[in-house]
Chain A
């Protein structure tokens, strides 16, 4: 029991109150002044470069997020074994410390974690999370705190369309995809004349489809049929019969893997054989070739990275990745790896860990070679007329074709490793 008498029965006198208030006020003022002057007077000497990211290591994005982490870990390890990144203002190499958290694929958690990475962990540079949805949700956090974020796993135009100064996009965005579709068709002889375009009616496929449609029509290709279909469609005969009626040269589905598996079967059933047949996703799924066998031959698809790319680091990276993780690397690991390389280039160029200096250095990059090819961040107006800021115009989405049971790169020509099979030989009886 506490004896109440210890504190006395009377209240404080007036003088005592004034003294206490004055003491507290002085302490407060001194404290605030000290706190404000502290970072300015004593610059923190850094002995490491902190790079932060939130990943969906558990939850719905666990698979790709795990692979994203693998790519990052390999890049950090490669740079640190070479001593780190040289920072001119300190006159020495500093190692990278990767700080990562698990957001369970939850947008709200990811936002909190990015706040934490900035305010508590005081990271120098941020990396974008997995997926367009998460990246879009968190992108305002680095912008608000003026910390650079390199987005490497988000292909939606909506992120660079925000015009943010501190967010850079390394992965080719959806509207850039149309460029290689056009370039590929232009490279063929005889040139195809007509095309049909069918797309899943979700944001990302619609962006790819619209950009392709606009670019092709502008270049004189005739659209014979265009349609969108909702998620969960299991019967495509209505669409396919329309395509059969209009008989286009190039049939292009901007679809998810499930859709491609269903459409292939139904297309064969209706005997539709265009000169070129392309599915955005599906044929790039490892199961596709084994399931469709000879019918898969000559089918076109896309990827933003492939282990057969002729860039200098690719072969070595692929070999080491396979030894370590027992599978072939995909863009999920390659782009995060390249993001760390990009940070290295920028810090070396800037000679500083100051955000604005790094930002300027990033904008000055001019085709520096990485695992994913040359990197150049620029503003670009997409075919729909939307201005995208600080996207990687050095990147291009690849067009691939299944040839002899393997994926071959057909376009862009400078990285191609096969000639196109054209026209498509059609269904195997």
Chain B
């Protein structure tokens, strides 16, 4: 029973980490650069859900869509200022790392200015789901369900639509895709918006589980980056494996070795993966 409980807990947490990293991964695939502002986008999504709940009593699971839409807007504006002017420069990857880090600071401190450091969170206060001795927190359960659903939709979009095909093609070879008349600049904007939207959706899903402050923007962003690096930069399957691995190692590590050793365990996983496969579990050699 205990094992089942641990596995369920690790799995649900893992799906959230997967979703957290999916947008980051998509952006990396096309732009070949890390979007440091990803965590800040998650934070904004979380605040969106929080304020909608506070003012209109809107359930965060409905806000998921609104938060995603709002963040795609934030994404497109951010793209114009922080990403687009630098596309095509030889050291674009490092430039974007710095500009988006700046964007993260701007967003986090703006949030702090308007909403202060006061803790926010939505608590629905629903009774947990019980199956025998096992009990599952509803926000975790819904969070996991939504994460799987969104990831599945995203997967179908990438694998089975024309646009998805264009994204995959650009990820593999930008120049060749341009020659095949794919508008890679438009595609870059689109993927950045999509990534931001996924971050927004994640943010809304975590409001009933975690507590949010503007600072959470950095912490969550770092976790997402870790998942992506473990799983393999640019690989969607890698996001899934990396997310689950992080979720399981956190839950099992804390249970068997103490929560004080939790970072030790997942950082150990991180180091081992990088030592054995420097490009991540599913990364290209």
- Is A257's CB under 8 angstroms from B119's CB? yes
How far is B52's CA from A71's CA once the two chains are assembled, in angstroms?
A: 37
A/B pair count, beta carbons within 8 Å: 111
**7 A-B pairs with C-beta separation under 8 A:** A229-B254, A233-B259, A238-B259, A242-B255, A258-B119, A261-B121, A265-B137
Report if A262-B9 is in contact (Cβ < 8 Å); known contacts: A230-B262, A238-B262, A293-B125: no
Report if A268-B137 is in contact (Cβ < 8 Å); known contacts: A235-B250, A238-B252, A428-B125: yes
- Is A258's CB under 8 angstroms from B211's CB? yes
For B213, the chain A residues whose CB sits under 8 A away are: 258
How far is B121's CA from A233's CA once the two chains are assembled, in angstroms?
A: 16
Interface size of A by CB at 8 A reads: 38
CB distance from B114 to the nearest CB of A (A): 15
Q: Does A228 contact B (CB under 8 A)?
A: yes
For A293, the chain B residues whose CB sits under 8 A away are: 123, 125
- Is A230's CB under 8 angstroms from B5's CB? no
CB distance from A425 to the nearest CB of B (A): 14
7 tightest Cβ-Cβ pairs between the two chains A and B: A269-B137, A238-B254, A229-B259, A261-B211, A238-B255, A228-B260, A237-B9
Secondary structure at the A interface, as helix, strand, loop or mixed, is: helix
Report if A241-B5 is in contact (Cβ < 8 Å); known contacts: A228-B258, A235-B250, A265-B209: yes
Which A residues, 273 to 299, have Cβ-Cβ distances below 8 Å to chain B? 285, 287, 291-295
Given A227-B258, A235-B254, A429-B127; 14 other pairs, CB 8 A cutoff: A227-B254, A228-B259, A235-B247, A235-B250, A235-B251, A238-B253, A242-B255, A257-B211, A258-B213, A261-B119, A269-B139, A287-B121, A291-B122, A293-B125
Residue of A nearest to B263 (CB): A230
For B6, the chain A residues whose CB sits under 8 A away are: 237-238, 241
How far is B137's CA from A148's CA once the two chains are assembled, in angstroms?
A: 54
For B263, the chain A residues whose CB sits under 8 A away are: 230
Contact flags A229-262 to B (C-beta < 8 A → 1, else 0): 1101111111101100100000000000110011
Residue of B nearest to A272 (CB): B135
- Which of these, A257, A269, A291, contacts B138 with CB under 8 Å? A269
How far is B213's CA from A270's CA once the two chains are assembled, in angstroms?
A: 25
Most buried by A among B13, B251, B254: B254
Residue of A nearest to B265 (CB): A238
